[in-house]
Every structure is written in structure tokens, then in C-alpha cells.
């Protein structure tokens, strides 16, 4: 599937649209150390302890500096969005410049992934490509800029390259182009496949050849939000911490009884917890479950009802977590939408991560899946993202217990 499971924390900034426009200059790489916490106009990212490689430190410093640099623009976009001025010249000009997502992929198989940073939330976008060499960040080049074109980066099996898969909105032309890194630059090796997009006369859906049929074994590069959310400019750094043979150090898991007691107090004794949700300007907020469900704080900003729950180790850290199934009131067609909250005990506090995807099943080992699209979650003190898994996932579904006001 083209779009992977995502958190509401990044929903607005995950909109990436592509096509042809004047070049955007972003070749200058900030080699300065990351700003001190006092200089950052938002909470400093809390990452797990670990002995991280130089490239990880450089990438985390760069994304942090980028969020600091773009903070005034984000504040302006928030003001314009609140005033519903999405068609204003100010919105268009600034939304096309802001960073939105990033991907990590080792295109030259040297053990260090390249960093792909996407810019633009309106109709014009661009992806900048960076690598780590000579003990610093180096700019390789950019895909685009593009205008009114959907574009995705894919792996290129068996070759030190990446594939750019584009679909033009106006000409309805679909193209797959191969890129390599040569002599410190991103170089196109030309189109390997192209066709005009057809339309199914019955469904009106677009008809085109999936890239997986053209390049067997390819996979889409996972995109991670640059920031924790629309209202929170704190950088999402956990995917960098987790990459490859991660040196991330998780604390020793708490006893099962202690975890269930702490989360149980949140579920049934109205003990406040730290809600991780884009509805809060500081990324996390201390709130009770009753307040959270009734105050329209979570997407889709309507009252929600707790329906079921189950205990399972969601992020495979050896410690039990709790998944709470929550449901919306019926819409005009009588349909109710279901979402998930994952409760986790971290550093003596209970965090709850809201997942905005509906109708996903959960397996007995904590894999979220829909059809053949399995994902796991990784989280740490307000940082959270999902990633695709290759592990066996054809296992029984988790059977939740009906939720009542008392355990």
C-alpha cells in the first residue's frame, strides 16, 4: 500500500505532493553543533540512552537545527491555518518551503544510510538527499522540485540506487526513474519505465502498472514525520536511534503486576497520564482518560468511547503494554470508526499514544495489520512512529476484553 499507518501527531505534515517549478536552494548544510536546549523554542527531543554512531548524531543535530530554523514559519502556518487562509499567497509560499518528512535508506550499501528530507505541504515539493562523509553531513542533490505530481522513493534491489516513482496530475503520466550517488552527487540514470495513467470506466479509479511489477522485490522507503505534530515542532528522532543494529538501550522491563497496576489506575481510577497527541501544543499533556475522551482532544476531535482493551508487548521491549480500542459516535450513515491508544509505562510515568488509523487488526504479538500490510510501533517518552515488518505475522488476532468503568 502506498501510504503506511501513521500517527495523528504528523498527519497534517505528512501530505507530500509533487511536480515542476523553479528550483529551491537548500544546498547549505548547517555543520554547527545542535542548539542548546535554552535556545530551542520547543521541548528538546527526549531520546533513549545509547552509544550512537557519528552519522546518527549528525542526522539528529541536523533535523533539530532544521526544526529550530523553521519554527517561525511553522508558527505563521499555524496562524494561517487557524484563520482558514489556505488559499492565501502567504500560505502557498511558506507551505511549499517547510520540511515535512524524512526517510533513511542505505542506497550505496556502505553501512551508513542516506537521509532524504521532503519539503512542501502544498502543491510544490522537493526531496533533498544527504549523506554522512568526512565526519560531517554532505548534500548530494535533490529530487525535484515538482509541482502537482505525486512521488515516492523506492529501493532498487541488487543495485546501489533508489527509484523515483512519479504520477503527474495534469498530464497523467507515470514514470519510474533510477538515481545513483556518484562523486558526491545525486545522478539520474534515466527513466526505466513510463506510461500514461488510464481510468477504469466503471469505478473511475486510475489504472497504472504498480512499481512492484516493474521492479520485483522493491519496497517503498518509510517516511517519518519531521516533527511530533502540527502544533509541536519537537523533532521526531526515534527512527534514527532505532536504525539498523541499534545501540539504543532500553531500561529493564518492570514486573507485569507493576505495569498493570499503573496503567490500571489510569484506566479505572482516573489517574492522569501523559497523552501524546497532535491536539496539544506541547506534544504531550497530563490529562485523565475521562477528560481525554470527552474534551475532543484527539483526532477526529469528537467525543470518543472506550470499548475494549488487551495486554500485549507492543514494541517488543520485554514489557507489557495496554491497547485500548476507542470508538466514535455513529456518522450520518450509522458507521462508527474505531481507533487505538497504546498505554506504556516509561520512567515511572504512563504515556498513551493515539493511533489515527481506523479498522486495523492487532495480532497476539502486537503487530498492527490491515490485509497484507503489517506494522509495529516504536515509542519512547512522547516519540512514536510505525514501521513495516517482515517477520511472520499470519498469527491469531488479539482478543480484547470489553471495557467497563471498573476493572
User: At 132, is the secondary structure helix, strand, or coil?
Assistant: strand
> Residue range 346-370: average pLDDT?
87
Q: Note the pLDDT of residue 290.
A: 92
143 has which bridge partners?
A: 127
pLDDT 10s digits, 203-220: 888 899 999 999 999 999
The string of pLDDT tens digits covering residues 396-407 is 889 999 998 776
- 369, 373, 378, 381: CA torsion to nearest 10: -70
Range of weakest confidence among 53-62, 235-244, 273-282, 396-405: 273-282
Query: In this model, does residue 100 exceed pLDDT 90?
Result: yes
Residue 146 near residue 38 (C-beta atoms within 8 A): no
In which band, very low, low, confident or very high, does the pLDDT at 185 lie, cut at 50, 70 and 90? very high
Please answer whether residues 103 and 70 qualify as being in contact, where contact means their C-beta atoms are separated by less than 8 angstroms. no
Closest CA to 278 of 340, 227, 347: 227
- pTM value? 0.86
Give strand pairing partners of 387: 376
Kindly give, in sequence order, each residue whose CB lies less than 8 Å from that of residue 133, ignoring residues fewer than 6 positions away: 184
101 closest CA partner among 125, 77, 85, 133: 125
Q: How far is residue 9's CA from residue 6's CA, in Å, rounded to a whole number?
A: 8
Tens of pLDDT, residue by residue over 218-233, are: 999 999 999 987 778 8
Contact, 231 vs 279, CB < 8 A? yes
Amino acid at each position: 500500500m502506498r501510504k503506511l499507518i501513521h500517527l495523528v501527531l504528523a498527519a497534517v505534515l505528512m501530505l507530500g505532493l509533487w511536480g515542476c517549478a523553479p528550483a529551491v536552494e537548500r544546498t547549505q548544510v548547517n555543520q554547527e553543533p545542535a542548539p542548546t536546549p535554552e535556545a530551542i523554542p520547543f521541548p528538546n527531543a527526549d531520546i533513549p540512552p545509547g552509544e550512537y554512531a557519528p552519522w546518527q548524531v549528525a542526522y539528529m543535530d541536523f533535523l533539530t537545527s532544521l526544526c529550530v530554523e523553521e519554527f517561525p514559519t511553522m508558527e505563521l502556518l499555524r496562524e494561517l491555518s487557524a484563520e482558514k487562509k489556505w488559499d492565501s499567497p502567504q500560505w502557498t509560499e511558506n507551505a511549499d518551503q517547510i520540511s515535512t518528512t524524512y526517510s533513511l535508506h542505505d542506497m550505496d550499501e556502505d553501512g551508513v544510510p542516506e537521509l532524504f528530507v521532503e519539503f512542501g505541504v502544498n502543491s510544490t515539493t522537493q526531496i533533498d538527499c544527504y549523506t554522512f562523509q568526512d565526519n560531517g553531513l554532505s548534500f548530494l542533490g535533490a529530487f525535484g522540485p515538482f509541482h502537482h505530481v505525486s512521488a515516492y522513493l523506492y529501493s532498487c534491489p541488487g543495485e546501489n540506487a533508489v527509484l523515483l516513482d512519479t504520477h503527474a496530475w495534469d498530464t497523467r503520466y507515470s514514470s519510474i526513474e533510477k538515481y545513483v550517488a556518484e562523486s558526491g552527487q545525486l545522478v539520474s540514470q534515466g527513466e526505466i519505465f513510463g506510461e500514461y495513467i488510464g481510468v477504469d470506466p466503471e469505478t473511475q479509479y486510475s489504472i497504472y502498472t504498480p512499481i512492484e511489477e516493474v521492479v520485483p522485490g522493491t519496497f517503498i522507503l518509510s517516511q517519518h514525520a519531521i516533527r511530533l505534530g502540527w502544533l509541536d515542532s519537537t523533532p521526531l528522532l526515534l527512527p534514527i536511534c532505532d536504525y539498523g543494529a541499534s545501540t539504543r538501550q532500553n531500561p529493564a522491563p518492570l514486573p507485569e503486576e507493576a505495569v498493570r497496576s499503573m496503567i490500571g489506575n489510569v484506566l479505572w481510577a482516573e489517574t492522569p497520564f501523559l497523552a501524546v497527541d497532535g491536539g496539544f501544543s506541547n506534544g504531550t499533556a497530563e490529562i485523565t482518560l475521562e477528560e481525554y475522551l470527552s474534551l475532543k482532544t484527539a483526532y477526529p476531535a469528537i467525543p470518543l468511547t472506550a470499548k475494549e482493551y488487551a495486554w500485549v508487548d507492543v514494541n517488543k521491549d520485554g514489557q507489557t503494554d495496554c491497547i485500548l480500542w476507542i470508538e466514535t459516535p455513529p456518522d450520518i450513515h450509522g458507521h462508527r470508526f474505531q481507533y487505538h491508544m497504546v498505554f506504556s509505562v516509561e520512567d515511572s510515568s504512563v504515556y498513551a499514544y493515539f493511533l489515527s488509523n481506523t479498522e486495523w487488526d492487532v495480532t497476539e504479538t502486537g503487530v498492527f495489520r490491515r490485509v497484507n500490510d503489517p506494522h509495529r510501533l516504536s515509542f519512547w517518552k512522547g516519540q512514536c512512529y510505525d514501521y513495516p515488518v517482515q517477520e511472520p505475522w499470519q498469527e491469531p488476532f488479539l482478543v480484547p476484553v470489553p471495557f467497563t468503568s471498573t476493572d
